[in-house]
Structure 1
């Protein structure tokens, strides 16, 4: 065989080449945990206190708020701001201090993202500065648009805006599809001899209905829009396939052929700041995102087209060192915070004993207002029929089986104490402020941490106390408890319900099961007919 210059055989003769694949070594090794790289604004947020009882800020400590609004706050029993409100309101008022237009040396304001627990006062954090910024407007135009994922949430936010615009010239329009398109059009525009007159300064809308009006309402214009508020932002990002946001931006910055002929200053798409651009006065569109579970996935946030965003967060960790969330999309990237007055429990139980466990918690522990969540409309309906047949508990279900008007009535009766147990899908878990909920029961364990956060956030709101119980099957315990621990949930207390405590309920429960089966069969017959 040939030899090299040193008289030795070539390397190939003495062993495998460097690129050869060596078989063996199949032992398992744990892959190193990769820490996500976050942009600076996400990794280093402005930290906000999370204790809504200890970190209160007296109204007089934020003198920037208009005296009329301060008076209105006191009239509604508010003498102090929650931490989120105390941080966000001054920042928004400062960004709006130059009026509607920027230019001639002014700069486009930063977009704001707010991540804080449910019940921490996020709604008022944008209502107050938006109303104050519009107080002295001369002409009625749509200057603020608030987009929410559900009709119930939109109604709630609209109600708050109406409180603080009362006795002002500002007008609020609610467009969610609960009224006919024609009726809603009357609240948005009015036909005049020479065109259209805008009838609303602030529009509160759901995405689908908003797009309907952009497409079908003559004279409806967003070319004067100054604030775009996206509440429940994580859910709104998830629904971005509806393409509602690009439609809003296109309506706010129309193409050359669709300019407003009545506008004194034609609006341009945001561009790089140059000496020339600062000499051109224009109205900025400032985006304000609010959520209890704001995603930290930069790719998702990029879809929003945020401008030099600033994050206010009650999160515990900073500097990109947060633990990864256990959701399948891995987008939260950090620990959530929870109301200080909330205690977390889990109840080990079998599939058959789950309804009995719910009945025991209500009957034996004397809870008068309980919100119970299931993972499907079918489960909600079956549990509702079962509890109804059992008797002794005033119960109602809250799901898409009912129309908006019926759901509104059910929520009102629940708040008034006429309904003791409200069984729901996750339709109510997003921002609905149901007053006086003492207990949240997760009848079906939520699959994702984000769902858990929103569910249990229906109690212990605004500094009050509350309890959350999750019913867990043996096969669910390990994964669920690990998910919550990694997500920053305080340790769950184990709450065992001995079989002897459930035994007295069994005869009545067996009879209720029989009635349930008969009711289900009857419903199927009616559907078939």
Structure 2
């Protein structure tokens, strides 16, 4: 890895890459350990999923990267036509010799406009660009007010905790809304639901979480896109930064606690102008707060959808049998750990 980032030229080791794609932690690791990795000529710093990056700024990775860009170096200053100093107020003196600024480009579907958080990024004369043509994208836009896909239709389904698995089976076996991307709030819930659906039978299901290796996750996503999987049960590992094509329906098996999580989840469908459905299972105690949260976030409207008990009744006997089988499977898994 180090060899691809720098190369030996005579007695000097120099950077060999024009573009580096890295996680913050790994980049900082190379800055500290790889003496040949020089960022003093870096022109563009692109931060994807910027809202999550801002939340991790307590780790000081950004300040370390900026320090590597503007750090002093006698050799660099002597051979460069440009001076590198952190941007401040522009004066005639500051432009001689010419400056070579570092431009930061932030991308996110849920980028905060909270000035206190944005201040941490050290932005100079920032500009906001939106891919959505809307008056809401102007400077008067409220904080934590987001854009939802135009083709997205949102529903919530009042339910009891014990009926959630039956509702998932109803969506796949009766309503045939697959391919479905189903989100849970933990990998334990995702795994338990996957085992339950698998034991019930009749559904091509898979799980997607940190339980799987990177290779297994890549293969699972490929199978899902190819239509080999009807129901993909996932943690929020698939909610960000992964473009899964052909998702007809997103189901929030567990209601997300934060509105940003909801926006990223439902954004996996209705992509590139296509239509998509999003369903959220809500317990009675969750309804008021969740609906208020989504409304304040800028949702065009989330509709109530009822599933009649008689629509689930024919599956209940098999479901009760599966619950007993599931207890044995989980007990066996724990004994092997």
With structure 2 as the length reference, what TM-score do the two structures score?
Answer: 0.94
Partner of 1:239: 56
CA distance in 2, matches of 1:261, 1:362: 67
Residue-by-residue CA offset, 1:438-490 (whole Å, 9 max, x unaligned): 00000000111111100000001011111000011111111111211122112
Match of 1:317 among 136, 139, 145: 136
CA distance in 2, matches of 1:443, 1:450: 16
The answer to whether the 8 Å contact 2:14/2:38 transfers is: no
2:15 is the counterpart of 1:205: no
Partner of 2:98: 281
Q: Cα distance 1:464–1:195, how it changes in 2: closer, same or farther (>3 A)?
A: same
The secondary structure found in structure 1 opposite 2:332 is helix
In structure 2, the gaps of 5 or more residues are none
Partner of 1:380: 190
In structure 1, the gaps of 5 or more residues are 1-183, 324-332
Partner of 2:223: 413
> How do 1:439-478 residues align onto structure 2 when only pairs under 5 Å count?
439-478=249-288
Partner of 1:349: 159
Say what the alpha-carbon RMSD is for the aligned residues.
1.9
Q: Report the number of matched residues.
A: 335
Residue-by-residue CA offset, 1:481-500 (whole Å, 9 max, x unaligned): 12111221122122111111
Partner of 1:222: 39
The answer to whether the 8 Å contact 2:153/2:278 transfers is: yes
Partner of 1:119: none
CA distance in 2, matches of 1:487, 1:197: 47
Partner of 2:70: 253
Q: Cα distance 1:496–1:514, how it changes in 2: closer, same or farther (>3 A)?
A: same
2:293 is the counterpart of 1:483: yes
Match of 2:125 among 293, 296, 308: 308
CA distance in 2, matches of 1:430, 1:220: 29
> How do 1:154-165 residues align onto structure 2 when only pairs under 5 Å count?
none
Q: CA deviation at 1:399?
A: 1.0
Q: CA deviation at 1:284?
A: 1.1
Runs of 4+ aligned structure 1 residues displaced above 6 Å come to none
Partner of 1:360: 170
